[in-house]
């Protein structure tokens, strides 16, 4: 099941139910790049200590972003041994661009080529990606929204907001109290942004978001005060709802953390770094601190690459044991070849 921004909020209760009932969760992440073109001393080496690898990879994680997360929730079949039902979801993500948040990230040609080869849909990523933020970003935007220190960041949004304000201001000059106008084609975060800016700039209007767009109504200042303090639309409550929408996939990430299910992946260290950076907190400089943080989020981590390496070692020991005696060679030499193929 593909999940984008349009379907995400409606899917949350179902997703929460899947996670709660899962025995373990499988994870795979796609990125806009893997390794930045670092100078020679910073290039990854087979001889790197884990802490050295971490510091080098940390730089790449900060440069690239997540474009898709694949999650499979595995639930055991009642009454049957070693049988599971898997519910798989592909989440297309895009960094939150809202208010003061405007992330920068890079693309790597080889990663784009890889994704193209396997039919990755960039429209779902760029046009309908689920927003997300980490805890530090959430604190910044929450502080700005709740204190009313609101400002539009991107030049494109500034131009659009200016056009909207000019249009509403011209309409206000001729409108009577109680008249209303519709601003069509405004939805999502842009609708929240437009309403916040209009309410802040014009004391004699009120705004409501409906299916047809943002409705602007001319009201008296006493009526405006009443609307702001009405239980159904208190400004603080309204801004909290905006913040909840802006958090996006981070809400589901917190569900995963709270569920404490075993997390399974293959060669997943880079995945874990991205999970920490994008949804929890910026990656610390200390590798030990990272390990402590990630294990507090996901106490049980299973990397199938390490599992297969461990199995390989055990099979190799068995093979060497069986072949150490010349008398047993003819009997057992074929079996290990099958196991190791």
Q: Which two tokens stand for residue 134?
A: 């980490």
* Distance separating alpha carbons of residues 243 and 248, to the nearest angstrom: 9
Q: Collapsing DSSP states into helix, strand and coil, what is residue 134?
A: coil
Spatial neighbors of 238 by CB under 8 A, at least 6 apart, are none
Task: State residue 329's pLDDT score.
Answer: 45
- At residue 234, the pLDDT reads 54
Are residues 130 and 248 in contact, defined by beta-carbon separation less than 8 angstroms? yes
What pLDDT score was predicted for residue 153?
Answer: 52
Q: Are strands 205-210 and 84-92 parallel, antiparallel or unpaired?
A: unpaired
d(CA 34, CA 40): 17
Query: pLDDT 10s per residue in the chain (341 long)?
Result: 899 988 888 899 999 999 999 999 999 999 999 887 765 556 777 788 889 999 989 988 999 999 999 999 999 998 888 899 999 999 999 998 776 778 889 999 999 999 999 999 999 999 889 999 999 998 888 777 666 655 555 544 667 778 888 899 999 989 999 999 998 877 666 777 788 788 888 889 998 888 778 899 999 988 888 887 775 555 566 666 777 778 889 999 999 999 999 999 999 999 999 999 999 999 999 999 999 999 999 999 999 998 888 888 777 777 777 666 544 444 444 444 333 33
pTM value is 0.75
What domains does the chain contain, in order, with CATH numbers? 2-133+248-305 (3.30.420.10), 140-245 (3.30.1370.50)
In 10 A of CB 82, how many CB atoms? 6
């Amino acid at each position: 099941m593909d999940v984008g921004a349009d379907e995400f909020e409606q899917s949350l209760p179902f997703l929460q139910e899947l996670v709660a009932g899962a025995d373990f969760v499988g994870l795979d992440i796609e990125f806009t790049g893997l390794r930045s073109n670092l100078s020679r001393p910073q290039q990854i080496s087979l001889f790197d200590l884990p802490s050295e690898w971490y510091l080098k990879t940390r730089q790449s994680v900060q440069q690239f972003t997540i474009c898709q997360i694949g999650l499979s929730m595995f639930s055991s079949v009642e009454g049957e041994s070693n049988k599971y039902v898997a519910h798989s979801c592909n989440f297309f993500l895009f960094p939150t661009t809202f208010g003061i948040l405007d992330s920068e990230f890079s693309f790597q040609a080889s990663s784009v080529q890889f994704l193209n080869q396997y039919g990755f849909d960039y429209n779902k990523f760029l046009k309908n990606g689920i927003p997300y933020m980490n805890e530090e970003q959430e604190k910044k935007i929450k502080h700005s929204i709740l204190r009313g220190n609101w400002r539009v960041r991107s030049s494109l949004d500034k131009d659009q907001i200016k056009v909207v304000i000019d249009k509403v201001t011209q309409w206000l000059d001729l409108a009577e109290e109680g008249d209303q106008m519709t601003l069509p084609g405004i939805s999502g975060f842009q609708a929240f942004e437009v309403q916040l800016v209009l309410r802040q700039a014009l004391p004699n209007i009120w705004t409501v978001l409906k299916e047809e767009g943002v409705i602007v109504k001319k009201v008296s200042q006493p009526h405006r005060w009443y609307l702001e303090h009405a239980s159904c639309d208190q400004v603080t409550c309204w801004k909290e709802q905006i913040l909840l929408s802006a958090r996006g996939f981070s809400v589901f990430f917190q569900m995963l953390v709270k569920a404490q299910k075993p997390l399974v992946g293959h060669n997943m260290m880079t995945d874990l770094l991205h999970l920490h950076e994008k949804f929890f907190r910026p990656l610390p400089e200390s590798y030990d601190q990272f390990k402590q943080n990630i294990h507090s989020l996901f106490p049980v981590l299973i990397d199938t690459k390490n599992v297969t390496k461990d199995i390989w070692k055990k099979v190799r020991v068995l093979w060497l044991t069986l072949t150490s005696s010349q008398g047993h060679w003819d009997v057992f030499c074929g079996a290990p070849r099958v196991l190791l193929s």
